[in-house]
Amino acid sequence: MFPAVTDDPVVGAGLTIKSLVSPISSRMVTAPMDSEIQKAVDAGKLTPQAGKILDQLKPGTHCLHKSWGFGRIDSVNFLVNQITIDFKGKKGHTMQLQYAAESLQPVSTDHVLALKATDPDALKKKAKSDPVGLVKVVVESYGGRATQDVIEQALTPEVLSAAEFKRWWDATKKALKNDGHFAVPAKKGEPIELRAEAVSRSDELVARFSAARQLKDQLSALDQIIKNPEAFANPVQLQPVITAIEEAARKSQRLHTAQAFELLLARDEICEKTNVAPGATAMTVAHLLREEDRRLGDVLLEIPAAKQRRLIAEFPGAFGESWSAKALALMLKSNVRVVAEIARLLQEQGKHEELRRSLDRWISEHSITTEVLYWLCKERNTGAFGDLVTPQVFSAILAALERDQFSDVKRGGKLHDLMLEDRELLPDL
C-alpha cells in the first residue's frame, strides 16, 4: 500500500529514511512541548530529543518506521509509558516511548503519505486537474527531490493504477519541464528536484550544456536541445552553443574523432530545427569526413546507431563522384547496421546497379563479409537482390564463416544464428 522504507538509500535518489519527510524543525515544531512530555523529560524518563519527536506523535498523526512502513498514532499512555500505532500490517502495535522516539519518523499532515491515508479522493482529483501541483506535493514530501520510481510508489495504486501512472507520467513530465520549477533529469534513475524559482526551459537547456565538462555530457545536453527546439522562441540564445560545439569538435578531432562527428551532426540538426546559422568558417561534417577518410571504418563503429544514418548521408557531398566507391569499400569493413545504411543510401541515390555488380563480384571472389552476407540474406525476399541468393552464396557463406572462425576479431555470429533460425534460408540457397 505504501512505499517500502528501509535503511538502504532509495533507489536512484540517495535518500534514507530520515530524508523521506522534510526536516521536522522546518515543518512541525512551532509550539511549546506538551506538558506531559515536558514532565517526562524533566523527570529523566525521556531525553530532550526524544521529547521533541514525541511531541509530534500525537493521536491521529502519522509516522514512518523502517520495518513496518507508514502508520497512524492511535494513543499515547504516559502511565504505562507506551505509544500505540496502527501500521497497515500490524494494528495496535505498542512501543515504549523512548524507543518510539528513536525508531519513528513523524510525518507532517501535508506529506503525500498522510494525504493518501486521510483523503485519497482529493489526490485523485488533483492528479487530473493539477498534475504538476501533485508532483510538487510528492517532491516536497521527500525533501525536495525524488526519482520517478519514488513518485510512482507514492501514488500507486491508491491514486493511480500502474497502467494509469505510465500514461499520466508521460504527459506530466512534459508539463514539469515547461513549468520551470522542476529540474527534470534526462535519466530515469536520477531525482527530479524542486527549484525555489522557475527557470525557463531554454535557459535550463543552455545551462546544462554550458555546465557539461565531458564530451558525453555535452552530447547528452545537445540531444535535449534537439528534442526541444520549441523552447527557443529566440534562437539567438543558441548562438553561443553553436560556437562552443564547433570549438569542441575542432579540439576533439584527433583524439575523439567519433565524438567530433557527433558534435557537428548535433550542431547541424539544431541549426535545421531552429534556423540558427553556423559560423562562416565553421568546420563541416563533409570536411571532417574527407580529413578522416582513412579511419572512417573504425570511426563509424564508435558512433551511435541513431546517428550513423545522418553521417553516411553526407558521403555524396563530401566525396563527390567517388562517394559510391568509398561507400562500397566501407561496406566490407562495417557491421551489419552500417552495411544496411550504406546499401540504402546507394539505392536512394540511383546506384542500385553498381551495388549489384559489387555484390556479385564479392560473392564470386569469396571476399564478401559475414555482415554483408547477413544483410543480403535478410533482404532476399524484398525483390531487389533476391536473384543473387544462389548456391554460390551458400559457398560464400561457408567460406566467410570459416574465415571468421580463425580471425582474431570474432565476427559472423549474426549470420551463424540466421543459418540456424531461418528455416527457409537453406532451401532458398
Q: For all residues of the chain together, what is the average pLDDT?
A: 86
**Mean pLDDT for the stretch of residues 209-235:** 91
Distance CA 193, CA 54 (A): 30
Cell 569526413 maps to which residue?
Answer: 289
User: What is the model's pLDDT at position 25?
Assistant: 34
> The whole model's pTM is what?
0.65
CA dist 341 → 298, 306, 372, 388 (Å): 16, 11, 11, 19
What are 73-122's pLDDT values in tens digits?
999 998 888 999 999 888 999 999 999 999 999 999 999 999 998 999 99
Question: At CA 398, angle to CA 395 and CA 399, rounded to 5?
Answer: 85
251: which DSSP letter? H
Distance CA 398, CA 194 (A): 60
What are 244-284's pLDDT values in tens digits?
999 999 999 999 999 999 999 999 999 999 988 887 788 99
The span from the first CA to the last CA of the chain, in angstroms, equals 59
Question: At CA 15, angle to CA 87 and CA 134, rounded to 5?
Answer: 70
What are 386-417's pLDDT values in tens digits?
788 888 999 999 888 888 877 656 666 888 88
Distance CA 47, CA 252 (A): 61
**Mean pLDDT for the stretch of residues 11-34:** 44
CA dist 54 → 4, 31, 58, 172 (Å): 23, 13, 7, 38
Is 158 buried (19+), middle (13-18) or exposed (0-12) by CB count in 10 A? Answer: middle
* Nearest CA-CA partner of 372 in 406, 404, 348: 404
Do residues 374 and 414 make contact, with C-beta atoms less than 8 angstroms apart?
yes
